[in-house]
Amino acid sequence: MSQHDPAQLVSWLYLDMNSFFASVEQELDPALRGKPVAVVPIRAETTCCIAVSYEGKAFGVKTGTLVGEARQLCPGIKFIVGDHANYVRYHNRIVEAVESCVPVEAVCSIDEMACRLTGSQRHLEKAAALAGKIKAVIKTKVGSSLRCSIGLAPNRYLAKIAGDMKKPDGFTVIRPCDLPGILHQLKLRDLPGIGARMEERLNQKDIRTMEKLLSLTPEEMRKAWGSVSGEELWHLLRGEDIAVKLSEQKSISHSHVLPPELRNKAGALRILKKLTDKAAARLRQEGFYASGIYIYVRFQGQDTWKASCSLMETQDTVVFINAVRTLWEEAPAGQVFAVGMAMTGLVPEAYHAPSLFENQDRSRLIKTLDQLNEKFGKDVLHYGATHESDGLVPLRIAFTRIPDKSEL
């Protein structure tokens, strides 16, 4: 078969740094290289490891292992209190190194990024050479202790799966012609987006293997997930690139003209927080994460003021509200007439790569709040930060969209 055959082409390269935090510590301190290392948040026997070098993993120490247990499993392991400033600096250097080879389409987390391949880069031989070049540039320009696994595939979701298939320092290709058979070797939990609770839900429907999952129709997948995410996953697992959804919806936004009594900075911030709360609920309901937020203020007799910032991909209302508060501190003085905000850099849930910084307990709490509000009525439960704004932002029907029933 020719390498130009569509069944042989790949469209995405996904890079996953291996044991990133621990590798950075080994790069910073040559005495740690080749030795078991665990990164911890504080020095205490009761805390847990947030990253472990592969030398430590060989003894059974994993992310989440308690320090006391890690010491029993691997008596010689070194515990390092993590300095996140160093990890961010190395992250930026890695992004710069990858950018010198191919544009980075999306920074998915501090240690993962996705690159869209175009033109001749999609030919397998050239894509593989590009992967090799990226690995070499990271080692020579950033640090010899830093290794990564790279996956090539027809869409970003499968490229991430490919990158996870061989670690450390792995390289895996999934071609369209390999599907779906190459996925039969995986477990359900190997799929991004399937955690313990989702696996249990699938098991209850007698879906226990990848082969069984892949035998379902799009309608059956949608029913199993209870949302359109299941149907989207059906298409992703067959190599379709559904990133069109990303370009069709670039942001989730809300705006509001203030009543006269709230046309001041304190009143405007109250409205902005409520708009942010509403947008976050929509974001989750529509199955997205956001990696940026933007606010604007229209003043009477003055130019419109705008501000924005980038975020780690999130659905967390509290993160968004804190970002709005921070941006708001820079707002100029004046009589506010209207405010607006938008969540940008939208990423479908299937593409989201969980970060070490995510609070999983809070993620579950947020989804529970959404479910209760859907069942018992909008705003039966709400965040303390938006309590003062209750009832201040009535429903508006925009020209660009019809409000979802959850907003009614």
Q: Are strands 78-81 and 37-40 parallel, antiparallel or unpaired?
A: parallel
Cα dist from 277 to 21, 253, 403, whole Å: 33, 11, 15
Q: Is 349 a catalytic residue?
A: no
Find how far residue 266's CA is from the centre of its chain.
Answer: 33
Question: Which residue among 25, 69, 99, 112 is the active-site one?
Answer: 112
Helix, strand, coil shares, percent, the chain, to 5: 45, 20, 35
SS3 408: coil
CA atoms within 13 A on the CB side of 28: 15
> 333, 305, 176: which is closest to 241 by C-alpha?
176
CA atoms within 13 A on the CB side of 240: 11
Name the DSSP letter for residue 66.
B
Distance, CA of 147 to CA of 167 (rounded, Å): 9
Q: What is the dihedral of CA 95, 97, 99, 105, to 10 degrees?
A: -30
Distance, CA of 201 to CA of 13 (rounded, Å): 31
Distance, CA of 400 to CA of 385 (rounded, Å): 29
Query: What is the separation, in whole angstroms, between the first and last Cα of the chain?
Result: 55
The catalytic site residues sit at 112
